Amino acid sequence: MKIPLEDSYLDIIGKTQRGLKLQPIPEPSSEIEIRSIAKQLNLGGEALVAASKQAWYPQTQEPIEGLLCYSTTFEDMTVNSYLIFDPVTKIAAAFDTGADCSGMLHSGLKIEQIFITHIHPDHIIDLARLQTSTGAKTYVSDREPIENAEIFSDGKTFSIGGLKIETRRSSGHAKGGVTFFITGLKKPIAIVGDALFAGSMGGGMVSFEEALKTTRENILSLPEETIVCSGHGPLTTVGEEKKNNPFFTK
């Protein structure tokens, strides 16, 4: 099933206005008005127009051995969580839990670690069950400690079997936002939480400016073929977001 984009062009405009602490403006009625608003808000005009026409969707990614994606329902939205596993050893790690970790528990893989991108409820609501069912050790940023999880500082590295995980700060949407950059599979993977969506980014930010800065520096600096696994919406790539995301194109 094709997962819809998380945000419309109006969502993007609204998130930017709130982030900049501006008053809402009337809905634009033409491309000219959309381009004018984009200029005022420092958004990419062409990308925002494309979003208004629903003219862009990230290229569908071929299945990658070692990456499993789960989409579960939380209140009135869907939220993503992921399993990464070493194809040789079948050792796995979970990244967030989503609203329901049942799919992970039925994967047939040995989950030895749980990594948290940030502690918003939709991402960790089933954490206790996943911990109890697997006995896996849980890791969370030292900027956002929680009970029954070991904290780590930005830049710490981990491993999943023969795979390497690099932790990168992606705060702004959340105080403790972390991106996990995984190498060793067919393509590099970045599990980004709500720091970056296909064509948008998370709202309700602790700091809009910090969110833009850390995403540019620590996610969009990754190789363009990197598959971006977001907390909401479809998979995308670093290359596609650099070209099509209104927050990061000018």
**For residue 142, which amino acid is it?**
D
Pair 241, 233: CB distance under 8 Å: no
For position 205, what pLDDT does the model report?
A: 83
Q: Average pLDDT over the chain, rounded to whole?
A: 97
Nearest to 242 by CA among 52, 16, 44: 44
CATH of domain 67-244: 3.60.15.10
Q: Which residues of the chain have a pLDDT value below 50?
A: none
For position 131, what pLDDT does the model report?
A: 98
Q: Two tokens at 236?
A: 């995308």
The C-alpha atoms of residue 169 and residue 192 are separated, in whole angstroms, by: 10
Going 48 to 52 to 58 to 59, the CA torsion angle's sign is negative
Which helix (H) or strand (E) element contains residue 48? Answer: helix 45-52
Domain ranges of the chain: 67-244
DSSP β-bridge partners for residue 229: 191
Work out the angle between the directed axes of helices 45-52 and 31-41 (0-180°, nearest 10).
130
Nearest to 107 by CA among 133, 75, 125, 132: 133
Query: What is the DSSP track for 224-245?
Result: TTPEEEESSS--EEHHHHHHH-
Q: Two tokens at 115?
A: 């990594």
